[in-house]
Structure formats: structure tokens, C-alpha cells
Structure 1
Amino acid sequence: MGFDPAPGYSLAERDRRWALARELMDAEGLAALIAYGEHECADLAPFAPDNYFTNDRPGSIVLFCRDADPIQLVWCNMPIQDHLEARKRGDHLWIEPHNIRAGSGFQAGKNAAGIVEVLREHGLERATVGVLGLDPYPPFHINPIMPYQLWREVLAELPGVTFKNVGLSFLFATVCLSAEEQAMVRYSATVGDAMAAAMLDAAAPGATEADLYAAGMAAAFRRGCAAPDMLLWSGPGFVAWGPPAWSYRPQAPRTLHEGDVVLAEVFNRFGMKETQHQVAIAVGEVHPDVEAAAALARECYEAGLKVARPGNSFGDLAEAMLAPLLANDSWNIHPMCHIMNPYGPVCGFGFGLKRLPEARQYPRLFELPTMGGELPLAPGMSFSFEPNAVVNGRAVNLGGTVLIGEEDPIELNPYTAQLLRA
């Protein structure tokens, strides 16, 4: 599988994003914008609006004050050391050295003291300031990401400031990807296919789940992508979904057998733009219910493609992908689709688990309705298409990343939109 050279961001992309920040400030009546970034090395669904504005090591706080260039607050010297060496190598950096400040504890840096210092320098003690970090960021940050202690100190030091949550406005402003951002998504998606192909090559009776996991991750790493994680289960039939049990419980990885199905969700990332790949592998002859579930999931996928066009809403998309399940008395173990880059609206799931006799032992089960259904679909949006169907207690998921085009949807991963056969 050949690969084009990895793309990069230009200063024009930086200027576009900084202009977007100031447009958001104008629209919301803000004198400043605070973008809080989750710590570096975060795995799934990282909350990294700081990186969106810096194109640099995530885990900082970025502040836009009036018309000034943004200030980046970091927690220690290590990000500065990286920045320094990158300048020596000739990398294209977005933040000037004099606008990066380090500090922790009582020294102003990536903390309350750093935020307060910057806002006071610009005379914003009684201004309205927007914040990215005070809204939930589903699916993995159901609660706001901002640290309680940090924010409590900011509020105590700046009682005259009106702080305003602007996470939803940021989502609307950034969810339609630029041409450069779409290039990152396309590259990541191509690498995701290579990961799936490597997993298929490794799938055979006697191999372990860990063998497949390692093969997929190695394929991404060799191509310069940061594949942060993988959900993976195997067996003759199941309705479980999540990371492999051996990744959090001390036990041996499961060994594959003839007749197993392997279901995985591969997360890949390049340029901080994510793609997702639903890998379903039949190891030899699988149970007829697995074949039926795969066919039904494929029907859901095709139904979604028919609706994934400008003029429709996310609710239309979710409803179309769920319709074949309802018509066939099936259900889904995880969302059929959700938006990415950034995360936002998500299709409902969980309504069918109560059908299983074993589920009666659990007093409270979770059902998520479709959220964000009113969002209109527009060119440049990126979605994870991950249709999944359960037939008699056996699930299959398949799919990949889809872009909304000017007219028709753009399938980036038709390879994984089918049941692969080892």
C-alpha cells in the first residue's frame, strides 16, 4: 500500500484559525478568549483547543486578548525546550518565543496565576472573557475538563470578570474543516486502512488479540501517525464493546479460534485530526448470525451514505442509520455515527441491552438518545460511520471515516465498511 508524503500546515492555516478566534470573540462580545488544553499524552478524544491555535505540543493554555497575538502558558520548561530545538531545525512554528510563558506552583504559567497575570496586563479585570474548557466534551469528557482548583482561584482573583462558556460556538466555528485540515484527515484515513490490513494479516487461529493490536499499531507508527488506542474484542459472538480486557485487567490476551469474529475500533490521528476505523474480521467460517449482523450493519452504512449530504441534519443521518435496525428487530451496542474534529453530536445507543436475560441482574442500564440532531450537515464535516447490529446476541460493527462533500459524501475507508475475512 503506497503512501504520499505526509502533509503539513501552512502559516495561512494559522492565520485562518487566529482570525476565527477573533471572529468568535466579536460574535460573542468578548474581550479575550481562554483555551484550556488537556494534558499532553491524552488518548481518546483529547480536548486540545490549545493545539488548534498553536500547532504545537498540547497541554497548554492559550489566551487571545483583544487584537494582540496569543499568549501560550505551559507548565514547565520542557515545551519550551521542544520549541527551541524545533526553531533550530527550521520547523514552521506559530507562536513566537516571547509569547510563551512557563511556570507552576506559585510562579505564573499554566495555572490560575498565569491566566490572571495575562488578563490584568491587558486591563481586562472587568471584561467579558470566553472560555473553552467549561463545557462538557463528550464522549469521554461528560464533565467539563477545567480543573476545579485552578478555576476557583481564577474566579477569586478576578471577581469583576464575566466568564462565558463558548464551547458550542467553537464547535460550530471549527467543525467544517479547511482544505489543509481535510488533507490531514485523508492521510490519517489512509494509514487507518493500513492498520486494518495489518490486523487482517495477523488474524489466524492461534494468534492472540495482542498480536492483532500490535500489528495495527505498528502499521500506524511506521507511517508517522499517533494511533492512540484501539477497542478490540473477539469470540464466536458477543455484545461487549471497549478496550481489550487485558489492557486494564491482569490476564492473558485471548487466543483466536476458528469461527471467531474480531471486532475493533481503530483510532488514528495525524496533525491532531482523527479518523476512526471499524474493523470486523471473520476468522474462518463464522456463525450465520454473525453473517446476518454484518449484512444488516452494511445496510445501515449504505442508508447513512444516502443521507450524508448538505441540506440534511445530523438527526436525519442518525435516524436513517438506525432505521434498518428497527425494521429488523435489532439494536446497536454503540453509536451508529458521530461527528469528529471536534467531537460533538452523537447517535443514540443502548436501548436493546435490556433484551438480554443476563442484563436483568443489573438494576440500572444506560440509554443515550441522539444528541445534537439539529446540526445541519455542511461540506467539510468529518464523521465516524460505525454502524453495528446485533442478531441473537452476536454483534458486528463496520465502517470508517466519511467527509461531507459539496454534493455526495466522500468515503475515506470503504475497505473497512465490510466484513473482512482472514
Structure 2
Amino acid sequence: MDLTEGLPGRDIVDISWQFNEMMLPKSEEELALVRRAAAAAEAACHAMVETAAPGVPETEIYAAVLSELARHGCGVRYPTLILNSGFPSLAWGPPRWTTTAEPVRRLAKQDLVMAEIFPTFGNAEVQVQMSIAVGTPHPTVAQCAAVARASYEAGLSVLRAGTTFQELLHAMEQPLREAGCWALTPLVHSLNPQAFLGFTRVNAEDAAPVPALPGPPPRHVPELSGSDLVLPAGATLAFEPNACVGRTRVVSGGTVIVTDTGYEETNVLPCRMRTVHA
């Protein structure tokens, strides 16, 4: 039975937006859980760097990351772990071998290994975006990495309690606009809850060749979700700037806490692309 039919004469109002806003500011106790999860994510990123090398199968990196999170007493959100490798590649999702009967890919020189890690502690979630270049990065990879880092820094430069979500996104878009890059996934979104998403359409016309690739085309959102949201102190954000040129993509970033005077970075290692010697 439809809910409105079961409750005749009652007005039903959707308050999910207001509820999400109410949930954004976290107490000190909740922020302590966030920092604990972020420390586990940092350790998992170290494990990625230590494991990545030519000839290493993706399974070894996958196991190293999840083992480190378990060692820190953390759980993981769906889809457990996003992990892809290769060059060039726009793939973003769980490794193919988790859902298909195919050989596990092994890393090769000039590969780019990218992961999105979702640890939770006490039901508080963080997200980090770890990118590793195997050997000397291709010039296009280096360009995308520099733009992603510039977007990260641009976001921090305007972030503080009272900044609107739209102001934050516009700041993070600017390096992509200037460099002629586009973005496949959000540049930033809220955490706890993950309700406010910062997708961008900057240079979207340059993504036109991408729909010919396997899988869905880049996502274009009609309106920015949460554009008028004023960020409160204690809000947790996933900074995940990604820069794409053609079929090459680099993503980096970690979890940031909004404060009255600025911000608190809870991660360091994943906030720029790292390189391991081939």
C-alpha cells in the first residue's frame, strides 16, 4: 500500500536534505573516530607504496591494503576497495577479477595504480585516493597529477567554516579549467553523510571521445548537489580531485575536517601522486 494512502489526511514532507545538513557537524568524540580511520588509511597507502612494483599482481596490492586496515581494527564500506592499474586507463571500480573469471593483471613499467580506500572506525568513514606511478611517469600522467594536486591546494585555500560548498567546488575547478583537464568523478564530497557531491562539467566537451570506451560515459549532473550549503565546523569532506586528459586520469586526496579558522588534513601520503622505482 502507498504510504500516503495508508495515512489519509496527513501531510508527508521530505526532510532528508535538512537531516543531512544536521548530521554534518561532528562532535569531538566523532572526530576522534574519523582520525583513527584516517590513520589506518594512511598506513594502507604506505602498504601500497611498499608493494607496488613491476610484475606484482593486483591481488598482492589488494591484500596488502585490506590487511593493513584489518590490523588497525577498521571495517570497509561497499565496494570494499576500488583498485585499477594500467596506462592509459579511465577504469574506476573494483578490480575486474573480483567479478569475472579472468587472469589477475600484473603491474608493468609506466603503469599507474589507483585505489580508493574506504576505512571505517566506530561507523565513522574516511576516504582516500591513492595513485602510484610505476617508474618514470608518462608526461601526460605527470601533467594530470600536477593539476590534481593544484586542485587540492586550491580547495584548501578557501576552506573554513562559513565557506559555501559552491565556493569550494569553484576553487577546485579552476586548475582544471586553466589546464584544459576534465574530471570523471567528484572533486569533493561530504562524508558522514555522503550527501553533497561536487561534480564538475569544466571542459566536459573534451571528454567526448570517452563514451566509445567500454562502460558508461562520464557522469554529468544537471545541478550541483548542495551548492547553497554553508559548511560548518566539524564537517568531514572527501577531497578527491581528479584530472583527465584523453584516456589518462590521475586522482589523489584524503579526508579533511572543516574548522572555524580553516581545516585539518587527516592524510598526507595520498594527497599527491607517488612514484616507485621500476
Q: Do Structure 1 and Structure 2 share a fold, with TM-score over 0.5?
A: yes
**Residue 220 of structure 2 corresponds to residue 367 of structure 1:** yes
Answer whether contact 1:338 1:344 (CA < 8 A) is retained: yes
Larger Rg: 1
Distance 1:353 1:214 in 2: 38
Deviation readout 1:260-313 (Å, 9 max, x if unpaired): 110111111111111001101111122111111111110000000011112320
2:150 to 295, 299, 322: 299
Distance 2:239 2:9 in 1: 45
Q: Identify the residue that residue 209 of structure 2 maps to in structure 1.
A: 357
Deviation readout 1:5-52 (Å, 9 max, x if unpaired): xxxxxxxxxxxxxxxxxxxxxxxxxxxxxxxxxxxxxxxxxxxxxxxx
Q: Identify the residue that residue 168 of structure 2 maps to in structure 1.
A: 317
Moved more, 156-165 or 372-381: 156-165
Using the TM superposition, give the Cα deviation of residue 209 of structure 1 relative to its aligned residue in structure 2, in angstroms. Answer: 1.4
Which residue type is aligned with residue 379 of structure 1?
A: A
Q: Identify the residue that residue 238 of structure 2 maps to in structure 1.
A: 384
Using the TM superposition, give the Cα deviation of residue 365 of structure 1 relative to its aligned residue in structure 2, in angstroms. Answer: 5.9
2:115 to 257, 260, 264: 264
2:50 to 201, 220, 227: 201
1:192 to 41, 45, 48: 41
Q: Identify the residue that residue 182 of structure 1 maps to in structure 2.
A: 31
**Residue 63 of structure 2 corresponds to residue 214 of structure 1:** yes
Which residue type is aligned with residue 197 of structure 1?
A: H
Could you say what secondary structure the match of 1:370 adopts?
coil
**Residue 191 of structure 2 corresponds to residue 340 of structure 1:** yes
Using the TM superposition, give the Cα deviation of residue 227 of structure 1 relative to its aligned residue in structure 2, in angstroms. Answer: 2.0
Which residue type is aligned with residue 396 of structure 1?
A: V
**Superposed counterparts of 1:136-147, under 5 Å:** none
2:124 to 273, 284, 288: 273
Distance 2:144 2:201 in 1: 17
Using the TM superposition, give the Cα deviation of residue 255 of structure 1 relative to its aligned residue in structure 2, in angstroms. Answer: 0.8
Deviation readout 1:108-153 (Å, 9 max, x if unpaired): xxxxxxxxxxxxxxxxxxxxxxxxxxxxxxxxxxxxxxxxxxxx37
Moved more, 192-201 or 345-354: 345-354
Q: Identify the residue that residue 25 of structure 1 maps to in structure 2.
A: none
In structure 2, relative to structure 1, the CA distance for the partners of 1:324 and 1:201 (3 Å cut) is: same
**Superposed counterparts of 1:19-418, under 5 Å:** 152=1, 157-159=6-8, 161-228=10-77, 229-349=80-200, 352=204, 355-357=207-209, 359=211, 366-368=219-221, 369-418=223-272
Moved more, 241-250 or 298-307: 241-250
Could you say what secondary structure the match of 1:230 adopts?
strand
In structure 2, relative to structure 1, the CA distance for the partners of 1:349 and 1:245 (3 Å cut) is: farther
Which residue type is aligned with residue 268 of structure 1?
A: P
Using the TM superposition, give the Cα deviation of residue 249 of structure 1 relative to its aligned residue in structure 2, in angstroms. Answer: 2.5
In structure 2, relative to structure 1, the CA distance for the partners of 1:285 and 1:363 (3 Å cut) is: closer
Q: Percent identical across equivalent pairs?
A: 35
Distance 1:310 1:225 in 2: 29
Using the TM superposition, give the Cα deviation of residue 159 of structure 1 relative to its aligned residue in structure 2, in angstroms. Answer: 3.6
Distance 2:141 2:92 in 1: 16
Using the TM superposition, give the Cα deviation of residue 380 of structure 1 relative to its aligned residue in structure 2, in angstroms. Answer: 0.2
Distance 2:122 2:145 in 1: 32
Distance 1:347 1:367 in 2: 11
Answer whether contact 1:300 1:321 (CA < 8 A) is retained: yes
Using the TM superposition, give the Cα deviation of residue 184 of structure 1 relative to its aligned residue in structure 2, in angstroms. Answer: 0.6
Answer whether contact 2:254 2:270 (CA < 8 A) is retained: yes
In structure 2, relative to structure 1, the CA distance for the partners of 1:206 and 1:354 (3 Å cut) is: same
Using the TM superposition, give the Cα deviation of residue 236 of structure 1 relative to its aligned residue in structure 2, in angstroms. Answer: 2.0
Deviation readout 1:200-248 (Å, 9 max, x if unpaired): 1111111111211111011011111002311111112222222222222
By relative contact order (CA 8 Å, sep 6+), the higher-ranking structure is 2
In structure 2, relative to structure 1, the CA distance for the partners of 1:358 and 1:187 (3 Å cut) is: closer
Answer whether contact 2:185 2:219 (CA < 8 A) is retained: no
Could you say what secondary structure the match of 2:75 adopts?
coil
In structure 2, relative to structure 1, the CA distance for the partners of 1:346 and 1:281 (3 Å cut) is: same
Distance 1:363 1:241 in 2: 11
Answer whether contact 1:187 1:270 (CA < 8 A) is retained: yes
Q: How many residues align?
A: 271
Answer whether contact 1:233 1:241 (CA < 8 A) is retained: yes
Distance 2:58 2:65 in 1: 11
Using the TM superposition, give the Cα deviation of residue 358 of structure 1 relative to its aligned residue in structure 2, in angstroms. Answer: 5.2
TM-score, normalised by the number of residues in structure 2: 0.90
Using the TM superposition, give the Cα deviation of residue 325 of structure 1 relative to its aligned residue in structure 2, in angstroms. Answer: 0.3
TM-score, normalised by the number of residues in structure 1: 0.61
Answer whether contact 2:207 2:246 (CA < 8 A) is retained: no
Using the TM superposition, give the Cα deviation of residue 333 of structure 1 relative to its aligned residue in structure 2, in angstroms. Answer: 1.2
